Amino acid sequence: MAQIELHQVSKAFAPGALALDRIDLVIAQGERMVVLGPSGSGKTTLLRLIAGLETPDAGTIRIGGRDMAGVPPHRRDVSMVFQNPALYPHLSVFENLAFGLRARGVARAERRRRVHAVAEMLGVGRLLDRRPAGLSGGERQRVALGRAVAREPRVLLLDEPFSNLDHPLRAALRGELVELHRRFGSTVVHVTHDQSEALSIGQRLAVVHEGRIMQVDTPGGIYERPAQRFVASFVGSPGMNLLALEVELGETTLQIRHPGGNEITYPVSVHPQDTVLPLHEPVRLELGIRPESVIISGETLVDPADCRYPFAVLRAIVRGVEFQGGSWLVTLQVDSQTLLSRTPRLPVLREGQRVVAHLELWRASWFDLSTGRRLELHCQLSPDAIA
């Protein structure tokens, strides 16, 4: 176990094309950190830098408090599972699992103990005599994971280890990985492009985009309070709705205007020094709202003053209803923008129908239109505040 610290780490493979751009990230000892980002965002590069397979152009990497500059991979006590892990085809599963241990001079009895423990945990105990050619994809993946874990490294780096597996197996391995980590307790850095995998596995998530860290937070924090519009739309299936509208902030009120809706005024308490918005000036912003926070009702536009909770109320037209197994996703058109609503009950709606969408404003996020950064309006009302 060891803490990993990256300070202002940059890496470019070609002049002017930064694969990683001034990365600051501290991963606590024994923590399970998931790095989440789309393909090409720099995830593999980040792992290879920690492993010592690449050298940073700038910045420092520390493991267990020690600067890793000039320390070769085999001296870092780091195990990495690659995206397409290769097992030794001429060796049995047992020998594959024991390989790193033998190379490190671990005594025979201890080797056997560790291999059996890991094999049992990953459900490959009965396959120890087989060769890799006789294993299924999932079994091979488990052996690759087991080989890395059996060494009991201080740091375990996992590069999209489940991306080549089909869905039920992936779900099973997520659980196994969490359990394995609980028992072995290495510091884990797991990278993936799969946001649901990230949310379910990570104790914390670092979301990366184009070589930069967008946000580091708990899964709940990333989901509820995205720091960037990119994070808002990348996390969730589908991601947050982003709706451009106009707001005007006063000392005690927030007005929201959208062409498709009522003009709404909420009582708020604003500390002018806390808010980045100018007072008494209309500003175009983006409202971020999760599909499960968009509730569809009949055709009549209710007066927000009659609502018990702070909803934004918008006129919408139904453009489609999609069954998603357990819930329905309704595509709405609001003015010229699209808004998705998720509902657990079968909606009785037909295409083209006019409805009203209620947006749960106390769960909304606000983003600056030009920078995409989250804005703290300091006026997110609690549901009771308006009662």
Does 44 bind ligand ADP (CB under 6 A)? Our answer is yes
Which residue's beta carbon is nearest to the bound Mg ion? 44
Q: With binding defined as CB under 6 A, does residue 192 bind ligand ADP?
A: no
Interface region with ligand ADP, contact rule CB under 6 A, candidates 40-48, 269-277, 322-330, 334-342: 40-48
Cα separation, 258 vs 241, in Å, equals 15
The reply to whether 195 sits near ligand ADP by the rule CB under 6 A is no
Q: How many residues bind Mg ion (CB under 5 A)?
A: 1
DSSP letters along 286-346, please?
Answer: EEEE-GGGEEEE-S----GGG-SS-EEEEEEEEEEEEE-SSSEEEEEEETTEEEEEEESS-
Q: What is the dihedral of CA 158, 133, 89, 129, to 10 degrees?
A: 90
Shorter beta-carbon distance to ligand ADP: residue 27 or 285 = 27
Complex with ligand ADP: residue 43 or 151, whichever CB lies closer? 43
Residues that contact ligand ADP, how many (by CB under 6 A): 10
Quick check: bond before 85 cis, omega within 30? Answer: no
Among 32, 43, 114, 225, binds ligand ADP (CB under 6 A): 43
Q: What are the CA-CA distances from residue 168 to residues 103, 138, 144, 171 (Å)?
A: 35, 10, 19, 5
**How far is it, in rounded angstroms, from Cα 321 to Cα 324?**
10
d(C-alpha 339, C-alpha 333), whole Å: 6
If the CB atoms of residues 111 and 209 are measured against ligand ADP, the closer one turns out to be 209
Does 290 participate in binding ligand ADP (rule CB under 6 A)?
no
- What residues between 111 and 150 interact with Mg ion by CB under 5 A? none
Interstrand relation of 283-289 and 365-368 (parallel, antiparallel or unpaired): antiparallel
In the bound state with Mg ion, the residue whose beta carbon lies nearer, of 35 and 375, is: 35
Q: How far apart are CA 247 and CA 281, in angstroms?
A: 8
Minimum Å distance from CB 213 to ligand ADP? 13
Examine residue 44 and tell whether it contacts Mg ion (CB under 5 A).
yes
The single residue among 4, 6, 9, 19 that binds ligand ADP, judged by CB under 6 A, is 19
Distance CA 35, CA 192 (A): 6
Stretch that binds ligand ADP, among 36-44, 99-107, 279-287, 355-363 (CB under 6 A): 36-44
Residue 41 CB, shortest distance to Mg ion, in Å, is 8
Residues within the interface to ligand ADP (CB under 6 A): 13, 19, 37, 39-45
Residues within the interface to Mg ion (CB under 5 A): 44
